[in-house]
Amino acid sequence: MSILTAIFQALFQAVCRIFPISETAHSSVFHDFAGRFSGECSSLTGIVHIGIAVGIVIASYKLFLKMSYELFSTVGDVFKKRLKGSKPSGARHYMYMTLMSFCPMLLWLIPCGKYGLLYNVLRTTQFNKTLLDDGLFLAITGVLLILASVQLAKSSIPKPVAELPAIIVGALSVFLIPVSGFSFIGVVLAVLVLFGVSKRHAINYALLMSVPVLVVSGIVEICISVTHVGVASIIIGLVISIVASFLSTVFLKYFVSKGYLKYFGYYDVAVGIIILVIGIFELILRK
């Protein structure tokens, strides 16, 4: 694999993963027109996803340091039996909610016979020879972002992340990550905002949840990859994905703070409709 390919892939995946425009939707369009429907991936894909996670952590290092401290402190309190009856601080409660959101993802391990695990079944939407579902889900992401921007424009008292939105975000994440067309960060951000969560807490929550998912998926992709790359491509892809992810995270926070979330929504709806129409023609022509 060429170094130029590594550069393009790192930039493309970092920008589309961080900004709420769906990496999987754009990737599906590329693979669809290229006639690649095997679902196989290269080790570079996994490397880039890990690099994106590193870039997010660097851009939000204070958040991740605080959450790591709360996690290890909680483990220590469990062994010392100091949790019972104690009211958690705001930071620890925030950490509890993220852990609650991760629990539904265990459903991915449900066996589905010859199709493998549930995760593999859901992931087939990324290479099912039609763009109809990709366009539909991208448009839905856009609608949620537009609704969230309307909510942010209202003058209301922002709320912290509570149990109900945390559970709903976790349940949605079962589909957001493997199913093509959704933007994980975009939908999580939008849903939390619609529940009245402040935009700062909402974007931090989405970024916090995305890092473990990116790291785990990156490791899995490296292990199951069928295309291996050279050392130079790995180094360049890793470095560029870290830098691009860092910058994209910084800009995303700025865009959200300035109320520009709706423009991502407009983009998703417009592109989603175009992809959906292409998918309809694909189904008609293949009959």
Burial (CB count <10 Å: 0-12, 13-18, 19+), residue 62: exposed
Ramachandran area for residue 182 (φ above 0: left; ψ -120 to 50: alpha; else beta): beta
pLDDT at 84: 62
Interval 202-229: pLDDT, tens? 999 999 999 999 998 888 888 877 677 7
Interval 152-210: pLDDT, tens? 888 677 788 999 999 999 999 999 999 999 999 999 999 999 999 998 999 999 999 99
Q: What are phi and psi of 125, to 5 degrees?
A: -65, -15
- Domain count along the chain: 1
- Check whether 287 has a pLDDT greater than 70: no
Interval 47-87: pLDDT, tens? 999 999 999 999 999 999 999 999 888 888 777 777 665 67
pLDDT band for position 39 (50/70/90)? low
- The answer to whether 141 and 272 are in contact (CB under 8 A) is yes
Q: Which two tokens mark 73?
A: 């402190």
Cα 208 to the chain's mean position, in Å?
10
- The answer to whether 241 and 46 are in contact (CB under 8 A) is no
Percent of the residues in the chain that have a pLDDT greater than 90, as a whole number = 59
3-state secondary structure of 156: coil
**Start-end of H helices in 35-131:** 43-59, 61-80, 90-102, 118-123
What average pLDDT does the segment 272-287 reach? 87
What average pLDDT does the segment 109-119 reach? 86
What average pLDDT does the segment 14-31 reach? 91
Domain that holds residue 57: 3-285
